[in-house]
Structure formats: C-alpha cells, structure tokens
Structure 1
C-alpha cells in the first residue's frame, strides 16, 4: 500500500484572503494520486485558526457532568436556538500546553478546578476546509457549588454553567439536544469509562 507524506503535496501558491479574528488562506496545490502520477492543480480555501482544547468535567462521586451553554455564531442560520450545550473549551495562547489551556479555560468559563486530566483523543473537526485540531480531555472535578453565569467580560462571554446527571446528558446527546462534535465524542467516551472512573475515584476529597 502506498504511504503518502507531506512531500507528496505541492503547494504552488498560498495567499491570505482574509485576516481578522480568524484567517482564510487561498491555496493552489496538487498532490500525488493513488493510481500514480500527479493530479491537477486545485484551488482550496483554508480556514486557519489556533488549535483548541475541550474538556468534559466529570464528578465521579455524584456521577455528574458540568456543561456550558452559550450562543454560537455557527448555529445562527441552522438552529432555532443557537445557544449550544457544550464542554469547557478554548483556543491556545502562544506558548501554552494543552493542559495549561484546559485549566485556564475551566477557571474562566466555569470557575472550576480540574483535579485530574484524562486525555481522550486529538482530532480534526473539519479537515476538508480547516486546519484546526482539537485536544479533547475528560477531567475529574468536584461539582459541589458549581453553576451560575461565568465568562470573561473582556471577551463578551455570557456562559451559563450547570451540573447534569450523566444519564441526563447522555439522553440529551441521543435526542439531539447536544449536537456538537466535542460534546458527543466526550460523552460517548464517558459512557464507556464512567464505571471505571467511579471505582477508581476513591473517597470524595
């Protein structure tokens, strides 16, 4: 089986089409073909953005998850209610590790302390047109006293934080109330691992 690498893609030209809060590049490229040789020149727009970290906070002592709700511009044209139910999430700042982003965003978005970070996976949410890569975690938390309205005023954030029984969150995912990729992947992972996490958690701190 042929194993292609980055060397099998030739970027002929790369231009910046837009540069604002996010960036859009216009690439002219060609790549090697499975049947051999090189394909034709292709023109593709690439949505360029910093990588992201998403965290599913899980309280193993109460079998609950902490979820966030905020308006999302990407849902405006396709949802009657563009306030989505999501995980803690944020973009990398320069020099940050994924773990540092996770802890920072948990404090900013939910006033939440992460006790233990558990890597789930890394994935490209839409590689056909975006270079974003998501680092997805589950985090053990103590959810007592968690909730309310949070977020940074300087970033215009208005985030409602609430604690859900895990089984209710799973039902919301199954009926389409929770319909974003990171939350779905995280909750499906938790469905497979929650019993083990509860067994391993020990006494509540």
Structure 2
C-alpha cells in the first residue's frame, strides 16, 4: 500500500482522563490503518498531555557568547550526575500567548533579558517524545547583548531558582561534548549555532 496514512486512518473509540494535575494523562482506545491496507485490532495507549513549550538560545554575536540557565529538574533526579541541568531559557505555552510572546516573557523571567520579536530567529519545532507525549517544542535563537548578564532569576510562585551564566561558543561545545548538557532542546540549539554562527555575522 503506497497511500500516505493520516489522521483519517485513525479511529479513537474512547478517551478517559486518568490523571488531571500539573499535567494530564489520558487513556485512549484506538485502532488504525496499517501499511498493508488492513486495520489493527483495538488497543490502548496512555498519552501524557504536557502541552507545548518554547525554548530560546540567548546569543551575542558581537562577543560570540551564549547564555545558559542552570536549575534543578525532577526528571533528572535519577541521573548519574547532578539533577541541576544546563539548559536554554524555556517555558510552557499555558496562556493565550503565541510561541514568540512566550519566548520574550521567559527570557525576561529566567534571564532578565528583554527580547523583541525581531531579535528571534526560528530554529525549528519538533515533537519531544511522540511515542506517548503530545508536547511540541518551539526553538528560537535570540540575538541579544550579553555583555553584563548573569545572576539568579525565576518566579518564586513557581518555585524557580535559576542561575544564568555566559559561555564562549568553544566552552558551550566542550560542555555539550562532556555530557554537561543533557537535554535535547539545548543540544539542538547549540548544534544549530555551531552550524550557523558564521552566517549570523557580527552586530
């Protein structure tokens, strides 16, 4: 069968909310068309409905430095190293704002950096873990002045304790190579920068 399979080839029989807290988990009963034209039996899958997110790599093209945040992450608690991770600025899209608006807000909340829409360069957007999570991550590079940034930021109401520091491109590359960067969004952004920093030029 050469037909491109799509949403019309999936039938959801039922959907039950199993947990509805900070995140939501639903149990779906479904079946779908197969590549040979037949249909699968009914089966169940749990879907982690996390919502969508935005990430921003802060980059100063004049001094060729990036800024990364460092904060505690519950998902890294069982990690062999520290559960404090080096990451790009990021946040959930949990309001009526679009990705660019969330990007600007999070840059100020987590890094104290004011970012406008024309400073944001789209990198990509992707499904984080489509085997069981619906989250889509929108990634940007923000061209900003990092000459005098740094410190601790975050919202106390969200229990955030976020340290911001800057790194040369070489230092960021070494941090990534040594395993100091241990999350996909930050790796994607840094790899993108390594491929594109020359074309970004100087301010």
TM range (shorter): over 0.9
After TM superposition, list the pairs within 5 Å mapping 1:162-201 onto structure 2. 162-197=165-200, 199=201, 201=202
- Give the secondary-structure state (helix, strand or coil) at the position aligned to 1:79: coil
1:134 aligns with 2:137: yes
| 1:111, distance to aligned residue in structure 2 (A) | 0.2
Once the two structures are superposed, what CA deviation does each residue of 1:123-146 show, in whole Å capped at 9, x if it has no partner? 011000100000011110100211
- How far off is 1:93 after superposition? 2.7
**Gapped runs of 5+ residues in structure 2?**
none
State how many pairs are aligned: 200
- Deviating more after overlay: 182-191 vs 34-43: 34-43
**Aligned counterparts of 2:80 and 2:41: Cα–Cα separation in 1:** 38
Name the CA distance, whole Å, in 2 between partners of 1:55 and 1:118: 9
Quote how far apart the aligned CAs of 1:179 are: 1.3
Task: Give TM-score, length-normalised by structure 1.
Answer: 0.95
The 2-side partners of 1:152 and 1:8 are apart by 44
Unaligned runs of 5+ in 1: none
Residue-by-residue CA offset, 1:16-71 (whole Å, 9 max, x unaligned): 01010000000111110001110111211100022000000100011000000000
Deviation of 1:158 after TM superposition, in Å, equals: 0.2
Output the CA distance in 1 between the equivalents of 2:82 and 2:178: 15
Distance 1:17 1:26 in 2: 7
